[in-house]
Amino acid sequence: MNKICLSVLIGIPGAGKTSFCNNFQRYLEGKDSSVKLIHICYDSFIKLENANDMDKGLFKSKRQLLLRFLESLVEAIQKNDPFLMNQLSEALKEEYGLDLPLQLEPTSGTQVYVLLLDDNMYYRSMRYEIFKLARKHCTGYQQIYFEVPLLDARVRNSQRTKPVPDGIVSQMWMKLEKPSPRFYTWEKNTTTLRGSSANYDAIVSELLRRSNEYESVADIPVPMKMEQSNIHKMDLLLRKTVGEILRNNQLILFSAELKLLSNELIIRKQKILNDLKAGLIKINPDEITDEGMHSLF
């Protein structure tokens, strides 16, 4: 059976994801690689005209539709079914006007397919949907996080032929829930890229390794709920961290943006508390450092 790794790209517009995808594709074409790359660019499926589109029901329903397409693609690759692959290609042309080459490689051995999911994936819940898909179909899972300061992202985005509206860039930066593999263990397969260079040899090795590993339902630990006294301690620490993040960004954000960031951080703080109460993450409030607290956000 063919092997698959779902590789999720995380980062705001201007972080370098598009350049990475293009350079990675060229790198693989110049190698006798056992990796077959299928680039799924979410921007081709889901259009954002302004920041308000991010929270509309239509945006969420389109993401769910794309998730179902990804599942069908995974099933077609695993079954080595060229007829189903052709059906998916035709559906993409009809629904989105996309000519995405979906072809199975002729081989007598095992072929590794990497589905490069080129999106912002700013909410952890978005990434978790892909992780659940990987777990359901026993595929590999990897995250590549493009870490970039907001000001740098704004400059890079402005230099694009078709820049994303600046309000969307800022809002995604505010909404971005950075990977936190120390506490959310399902995010443990995360590679962080800073700057414009990437070690493609190392990335290919990581993808091949992940395609041979998968996490079944039995591998997920049973949640253990946190004691109420520790919940209270964490609430105080989270409030303190929110204040520190706001102070650290006073010089780069306008007052209206700072207010939006404050609202996003409060929402995120409550999400973290809910995860702690449900036992989805384990943290000792008496031992966690300031750096650890900031990594949660």
Q: For residue range 223-281, what is the model confidence (pLDDT) as tens digits?
A: 677 889 999 999 999 999 999 999 999 988 889 999 999 999 999 999 999 999 988 88
User: Is residue 165 a contact partner of residue 47, using CB atoms and an 8 Å limit?
Assistant: no
Q: For residue range 78-132, what is the model confidence (pLDDT) as tens digits?
A: 988 888 888 888 888 787 777 777 777 766 667 899 999 999 999 999 999 999 9
Is this prediction's pTM over 0.85?
Answer: yes
228-248 and 255-278 helices, crossing angle to 10°? 160
Put the strands of the sheet holding 190-194 in their side by side order.
35-41, 112-118, 3-10, 140-147, 190-194
Q: For residue range 16-66, what is the model confidence (pLDDT) as tens digits?
A: 998 999 999 999 888 767 788 999 988 877 765 555 555 556 678 888 888
List CB contacts of 245: < 8 A, sequence separation 6 or more.
261, 265, 294, 297
Alpha helices in the chain (DSSP H): 17-29, 42-45, 57-79, 82-96, 124-136, 150-158, 166-175, 200-211, 228-248, 255-278, 290-296
Report the C-alpha gap between 187 and 115 in whole angstroms.
17
User: Is residue 10 a contact partner of residue 179, using CB atoms and an 8 Å limit?
Assistant: yes
Domains recognised in the chain with CATH numbers: 3-219 (3.40.50.300), 228-296 (no CATH)
Nearest to 150 by CA among 176, 111, 184, 131: 176
- pLDDT attached to residue 252: 87
